[in-house]
Amino acid sequence: MVPTLIDREGFLAALDDQLDLARSDGSILGLAILDIRDFNRINGIYGFATGDHVIAEVAERLAGISRKSPVARRVGGKQFAVIFSGIASPELLPLIGSRIVRTAAETVLVAGQEVAFDVQVGLAAFPEDARNAENLYFLAEQALRAAKGQNVAYAVHEPDELQRQRSQWKQEIELGDALASNELQFWYQPRIAIADGSTERPEAFLRWLQQSGALVGPERLVPAIEQGGRSAELARWSLNTALRQARKWPELGVSVNVSSVALALPEVLDTLNAALRIWSVPPDALTVEISEAALARGAEACERQLKPLRDAGIRISIDHFGTGVCSLSQFKTLAVDEIKIDRKLVATAARSPADRLLCEHLIALAHGFGMRVVAVGIEDEPTLDLFRVLGCDSAQGYLIGKPMTDDDLLVWMRDRS
């Protein structure tokens, strides 16, 4: 049995020895650091004895992964490091990573019970990436973090990756400060009922006005906040801010995007109800928007979260609909009030017979299940006319109005009326 005691210092000493050999013969050395995903769940579901068995099995597999007998040691609670000496080229690191994943992550049989798990791997090479043991180990760890951040099985160190991670971390800290000091803001994009042109509830878009004057949008803000572990804080801020502003147009209400990460939080319903009570806004004045992609990634979990929201009187909207992989059969079970046809599909419907037909069927299907339909990205009159003919309920886009501050939205509504 291969020893499984944690020995990071011993491994670094062995890595130093292997690097000396590589320097003497001018060869290339590869370093891989492996992490067992969801290892705590294995302990929680099957018990610590099973977890120990998995650790021992992974150690055996890594020790025998190469005919050249690589050095493999356990370097953390659920982490291993493996040295590959004399590799032909750094370009082989992805193949090594793939082989490690295939070999290490095979199902383990414990007391007749099959235990399945995944692993993630970070890789770096000597002398291309680093020339001493500490730096090489550090860069392989950075590659492992990149694999986790990208949710992939393995990642190879890239020269710019460390700077990217540092910049990302800096932005996460700055965003956390901005959230705590209330520097974030919402801009609101209006929408109208296509049949009579009446104003409908606007959608709140997250913005961050930096000290430099640059305006950062949600496509950068939301991932950075979630990676910084502030999803619950962002959801709380978003809901309270939007509902406070919605009191300026009580007849309309407001529509707010909630990410799949925030939606999965167990306290999301309590957060919503608390915000509604604080600002004395009725539940049906709030629409929670989630993306179709989020629904497709975890349909059952999303539906479990959406139903109690809708039961509480909150309206549910699926954004970016028509370009993801949401199953049409989900129309039968979705607790949804409306779908928003994605802007890419809307933009091409006027000139593409196939896209027009797809939009027509989406509208008919949604109406058949009692859902309203919003065409997003309306930028010209011919497209608006087309969706009027197709029987679409609402329109949103630059032709109607760009995202604007709440004061500008009040002016927009006064001018329109």
Per-residue pLDDT of 108-119, as tens digits, reads: 888 777 888 889
Cα-Cα-Cα-Cα torsion 402, 405, 406, 409, nearest 10 degrees, comes to -30
Main-chain phi, psi angles of 273, to 5 degrees: -65, -40
Separation of first and last alpha carbons in the chain: 80
Q: Is the dihedral of CA 92, 98, 104, 106 positive or negative?
A: negative
In which element (H, E) is residue 259 found? none
255 CB burial (10 A radius; 0-12, 13-18, 19+):
buried
Per-residue pLDDT of 132-179, as tens digits, reads: 999 999 999 989 988 987 888 999 998 776 666 666 666 666 676 666
What does the alpha-carbon distance between residue 61 and residue 236 come to, in Å, rounded to a whole number? 46
Residue with the two structure tokens 């992964």: 65
**Which amino acid is located at 19 in the chain?**
L
Q: Which pair of structure tokens corresponds to residue 394?
A: 């609402």
Per-residue pLDDT of 264-293, as tens digits, reads: 777 888 888 899 899 998 999 999 998 876
- Omega of the bond prior to 127 within 30 degrees of 0, cis? yes
Domains of the chain: 8-158 (3.30.70.270), 168-416 (3.20.20.450)
Place 301 in a pLDDT band, splitting at 50, 70 and 90. Answer: low
Main-chain phi, psi angles of 197, to 5 degrees: 75, 10
Q: Which pair of structure tokens corresponds to residue 27?
A: 């060869």
Which three-class secondary structure state does DSSP give residue 252? coil
Residues 6 or more apart in contact with residue 368 via CB below 8 angstroms: none
Place 78 in a pLDDT band, splitting at 50, 70 and 90. Answer: very high
Main-chain phi, psi angles of 308, to 5 degrees: -65, -30
Q: CB-side exposure of 229: number of CA atoms within 13 Å?
A: 2
What's the pTM value of the predicted model, to 2 decimals?
0.63
Q: What is the mean pLDDT of the chain?
A: 85
Measured CA to CA in angstroms, residue 274 lies from 277, 281, 284, 362 at distances of 5, 11, 15, 35
* Number of CB atoms found within 10 A of residue 198's CB: 11
**Which amino acid is located at 226 in the chain?**
E
What does the alpha-carbon distance between residue 212 and residue 57 come to, in Å, rounded to a whole number? 53
Average pLDDT of the residues in 403-412: 93
Which three-class secondary structure state does DSSP give residue 247? coil
